[in-house]
């Protein structure tokens, strides 16, 4: 069995804690590797290495740092198939979806090539008699990121690419469920010209997380995962004086107006609800048709589409719609919530509970489920299921529909399908959710905009990637300078004011 490593100071380093986690191929339900879980001492070693390497990297001018990102983009494209296959093997995504995971991270790296422009400061000449003022954007030092299993390529790159482009060193603590791709990314970054010690990968669990949060050298922490853990990391990190951004859970609503193209809406819901087996923080998990007639038309369109979904391993080809969920525990939790929905009175119009895939009976596959007539007091509505389950909550009016999304504790993403511009404009302006789609089911912004939700989907005041990333990973220093033409007699003891 393969034994994975940490990646410290440009080398694969075996774990020394004696603790390991099993890494599964979820399609077959078998352990394919084990990954070491770092102790606090191992984390501290990585931080010490990063701290020693970072000043020299910060002294490299932004243009040369950007050239490393250019080369990294080239290497990502060259190794796309290899990265996608490794990602699919440990996560379960289809190959096209895994390649998309890499691609959306690659696009953020492309944006970071603009570091020379993004890191420019401001200058004011003659702010006072002989006085000039200017600002500098300087790196924080050693930064860290704690990333989830569902995007093992994209989200690490969303964090480490801008951090490193700004001149920081970065400690990556990826998910222990699918750690191979983050290790491969670190290798490619150094092949692209990144100095040793600037990007370290430390695998681990809560012990490593707490060591990151408690380490006084680490200046910032990014996190993506569940809301309870986001709250914990944000609270502890901030109390330790760190800059912290945490992204938590989601329950994304899609409102379908009576005038919507129902075929377009149904296709969008199937892709957004069941893609990646629903293991996306931007998955549409709640459909809200307005009016019973709209709901009936929508369900009629959805049922055959959901029943026709092809579920299988990534090795079955590119026509597979989605693969297994990541662990047996995830599968059991999804099945438990489905049963809860039935028990609480929702109508299960597509029942995937008996789904079995011949030859893959031990895999973590979950059939597609579609609920109708759910209500907002049900667990399947309130809880992020993170599986191939779409829940339909019928609303009688637009105001009731928008109220459902606005009243929910999560505010990551939402969408509306309509042909009416007034309705779409009102929805975009009023909704208290961070990312909005208008006839777009998964409104993930492109790399040059920022990604982030509202309410209990986010903790912190800056979003991921785009301009916010360069703000998050730098501090602003403002300098006031004067070069007098002669030597003045004596000192000035009162605060200087404008003449």
* Token digits of residue 197: 């010690």
Q: Are 151 and 139 in contact (CB under 8 A)?
A: no
Q: Which member of 112, 166, 246, 281 is catalytic? A: 281
* String of DSSP letters for 167-211: T-EEEEE--TTS-HHHHHHHHHHHHTTPPTTSEEE---SHHHHHH
How much of the chain is helix, strand and coil, in % rounded to 5?
40, 25, 35
CA distances to 12, 109, 408, 456, 475 from 250, in Å: 35, 26, 10, 8, 30
252 SS3 class:
strand
Q: Is-contact 213 229, C-beta < 8 A?
A: no
Burial letters 53-63, b for 16+ CB under 10 A, else e: bbeebbeeebe
Angle, CA 206 vertex, CA 468 and CA 6 arms, to 5°: 80
What is the rounded distance in angstroms from the CA atom of residue 278 to the CA atom of residue 385?
8
Q: Round to the nearest angstrom and report the end-to-end CA distance of the chain.
A: 76
Handedness of CA 6, 7, 8, 14 (dihedral sign): positive
**Strand partners of residue 37:** none
Return all residues near 415 (Cβ < 8 A) that are at least 6 apart.
Answer: 252, 253, 254, 255, 268, 272, 284, 436, 437, 438, 439, 440, 441, 442, 443
497 contacts: CB under 8 Å, gap ≥ 6: none
281 is catalytic: yes
In sequence order, the 6+-apart residues with CB closer than 8 A to the CB of 490 are: none
| CA triple 235-230-100, angle to 5 deg | 145
Strands (E), 365-432: 369-372, 389-392, 410-411, 413-417
Q: Give the separation between CA 118 and CA 123, rounded to whole angstroms.
A: 15
Catalytic residue positions? 281
């Amino acid at each position: 069995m393969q034994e994975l490593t940490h990646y410290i100071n440009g080398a694969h380093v075996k774990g020394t804690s004696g603790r390991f986690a099993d890494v599964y191929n979820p399609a077959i339900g078998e352990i394919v590797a084990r990954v070491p879980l770092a102790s606090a001492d191992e984390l501290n070693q990585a931080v010490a290495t990063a701290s020693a390497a970072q000043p020299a990297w910060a002294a490299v001018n932004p243009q040369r740092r950007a050239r490393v990102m250019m080369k990294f983009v080239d290497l990502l494209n060259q190794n796309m198939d290899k990265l996608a296959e490794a990602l699919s093997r440990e996560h379960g995504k289809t190959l096209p979806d895994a390649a998309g995971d890499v691609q959306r991270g690659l696009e953020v790296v492309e944006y970071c090539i603009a570091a020379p422009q993004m890191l420019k400061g401001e200058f004011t000449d003659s702010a006072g008699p002989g006085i000039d003022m200017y600002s500098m954007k300087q790196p924080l030092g050693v930064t860290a990121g704690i990333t989830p299993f569902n995007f093992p390529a994209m989200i690490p790159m969303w964090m480490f690419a801008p951090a490193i482009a700004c001149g920081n060193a970065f400690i990556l603590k990826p998910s222990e469920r699918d750690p191979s791709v983050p290790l491969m990314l670190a290798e490619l970054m150094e092949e692209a010209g990144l100095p040793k010690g600037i990007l370290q990968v430390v695998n681990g669990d809560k012990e490593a997380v707490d060591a990151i949060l408690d380490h006084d050298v680490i200046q910032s922490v990014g996190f993506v995962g569940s809301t309870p853990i986001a709250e914990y990391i944000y609270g502890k990190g901030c109390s330790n004086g760190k800059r912290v951004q945490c992204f938590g859970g989601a329950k994304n609503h899609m409102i379908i107006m009576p005038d919507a193209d129902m075929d377009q809406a149904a296709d969008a819901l199937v892709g957004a609800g069941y893609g990646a087996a629903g293991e996306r923080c931007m998955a549409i998990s709640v459909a809200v048709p307005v009016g019973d007639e709209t709901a009936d038309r929508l369900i009629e369109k959805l049922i055959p589409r959901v029943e026709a979904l092809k579920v299988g391993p990534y090795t079955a080809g590119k026509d597979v719609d989605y693969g297994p969920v990541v662990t047996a525990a995830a599968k059991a939790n999804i099945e438990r919530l489905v049963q809860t929905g039935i028990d609480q009175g929702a109508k299960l119009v597509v029942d995937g509970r008996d789904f079995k895939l011949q030859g893959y009976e031990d895999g973590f596959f979950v059939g597609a489920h579609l609920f109708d007539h759910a209500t907002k007091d049900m667990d399947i509505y309130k809880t992020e299921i993170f599986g191939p389950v779409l829940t339909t909550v019928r609303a009688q009016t637009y105001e009731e529909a928008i109220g459902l999304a606005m009243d929910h504790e999560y505010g990551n993403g939402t969408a509306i399908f309509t042909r009416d511009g007034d309705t779409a404009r009102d929805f975009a302006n009023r909704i208290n959710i961070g990312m909005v789609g208008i006839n777009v089911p998964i409104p993930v912004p492109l790399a040059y905009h920022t990604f982030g939700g509202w309410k209990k989907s986010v903790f912190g005041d800056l979003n991921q990637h785009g301009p916010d990333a360069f703000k998050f990973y730098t501090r602003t220093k403002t300098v006031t300078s004067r070069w007098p033409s002669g030597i003045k007699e004596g000192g000035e003891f009162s605060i200087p004011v404008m003449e």
